[in-house]
Chains A and B, each alone.
Chain A
Amino acid sequence: MDECKVIIMGFGSVGQGVANALSMKKDLIKDKTGVNVKVVAAADSSSSAICQDGLDEKLLVETKKEKGKLSAYPEYGSDKNGADVLDAVEYDCLIEATPTNIVDAQPALSLTLKAFEQGKDVVTSNKGHLALKFREVTEAAKKAGVEFKYEASVGGSMPIINFTKDTLSSCKIESIKGILNGTTNYILSRMTAEGSEYEVILKESQELGIAETDPTQDVEGIDAACKTVILANSLLGIDATYSDVKVEGISKINSHAIELAKKDDYLIKLIAEVSPDNLQVSPRLVKRGSSYDVSGTLNMATIKTDLADEVSVIGLGAGSLETASAMLTDLISILKTKY
């Protein structure tokens, strides 16, 4: 086989990032794997563009940006959306980039399960279905004999899941501790640098687009807790779900706490801890100059292993192309093993 037909479901920041990254890297992927990747459909929440002969990635992004809807894509725009798109065209791999839903994991859950039933591989950036039903989803993939990859769900461009599974494969993973949410790290970094209060920096972060209008998922630790569950299941083999994580966000952190910590050469960071006896997201004290001392929207994680002791990774935790980079890496690894 020398062609891989993909559907991009979800056409927000991440979905558009994937389209852009694919148009930039198509030739490279062909050189590396001998496979030509073709986007046969892309869908946003209410419409889609579908063409068995392939769509133009740049034109998809342009259409979405200018017209707001993929149904406006010249000639191949369609009102089909959701699971119907998976029936409308022949494809090999679903690139699932719909928004995370931590209540019932939809639409990611049903899209993913449907793709598995159809015998298709799935690459996802979504955290909802993984945080709520990790075992169910991974077992469904195994049963269907398809590939299911989710590097982009944790840490954006920071390599952690594949890195730990492949590069540290000789080691037993004892624990992972890290900063898994860029927005809160940005807020805490600025509070530390400027001595300002939480509410002030939050407001500025919202104006800059770093924090969302409703910042709850980030500042209350929900996003980091989802990632904690994904790491616990995928790397430590802990059968955990979202409700098993103790979660405390950063909204109670004031300038006094940061100032007191500074006096003793500490910083306050929102740390996710993944170990067999503790799944927790909470503000913690970290030594200045330690591996946890990363600022801005950066993410980091320290992986404690039996043979290699501690290994740390750092990278940009969010962003359109950054997250897309992790999804393309997953896609390439599927192409390398299956094609």
Chain B
Amino acid sequence: MRINLVLELMDTPGQLLKALEPVSSLGANLVTVIHKRDYKNKKGNVPVQLTIEGEHEDLKKVVNRFEELGFSIIEMDSVVLKERITTIFHGHIVDQDLRDTVDRINELEDVDIVAFDIKLNGEEKSTALINIEAGIGRKHAVFDKIAEIAEEKDLLVINEV
């Protein structure tokens, strides 16, 4: 069987080689590599598109090895592996140290705030919509962090259902 995936590599020498090594050593065949160093995503990493072929078990080993090596898989067979989380905060968002709020969410592993839209209302409470990208399985960590911050700073949170 054949799988297509998109890996996220750091823009430093040797990364591509390191990513391709497990493919042959674990018994799979490399069909396609698309690596454009001049394109970087929002985090400054370079996405690499791979197509690999082999027995199901071997492909599974390769994917596991990628994860062990710390390469994050953004997409597999067109299935997006990053989740987008949208949430709304309402309260004294700016006065309650907005920078601290953003940093604490960004500090979570494999979690990034990718957009932030705030409506100010004079001295009154403000409202902000935040878009977060998180690795699969990281959603709970994000929700826990949001709840912790909201509790501490007395913010109303409107999470997705």
Contact = CB atoms under 8 A, between A and B. Distances in A.
A, B: real partners: yes
B158 A283 contact: yes
B34 interface: no
Contacts of B161: 177, 269, 271, 273, 284-286, 292
Contact of B90 (A252, A259, A273): A252
Contacts of B87: 285
Contact of A264 (B90, B127, B128, B131): B131
Most chain A Cβ neighbours within 10 Å, of B87, B119, B121: B119
A238 interface: no
A257 B158 contact: yes
A260 interface: yes
A256 B160 contact: no
B94 to A, nearest CB: 14
Contacts of A266: 86, 160
B69 to A, nearest CB: 34
Nearest to B84: A264
Contacts of A273: 161
Interface residues of B, number: 17
A256 B127 contact: yes
Nearest to B129: A260
Contacts of B131: 264
Given A256-B127, A285-B86, A261 B119 contact: no
B159 interface: yes
B160 A260 contact: no
Interface of A: 177, 248, 252-254, 256-257, 259-261, 263-264, 266, 268-269, 271, 273, 282-286, 292
15 contacts: A177-B161, A254-B90, A256-B90, A256-B121, A257-B127, A257-B158, A259-B119, A260-B128, A264-B86, A264-B129, A269-B161, A271-B161, A273-B161, A284-B158, A285-B158
Closest 9 CB pairs of A and B: A260-B129, A256-B127, A256-B119, A284-B161, A285-B160, A257-B127, A283-B158, A286-B161, A252-B156
Given A254-B90, A286-B160, 9 more contacts: A253-B90, A257-B88, A257-B90, A261-B129, A263-B129, A268-B158, A269-B161, A273-B161, A285-B86
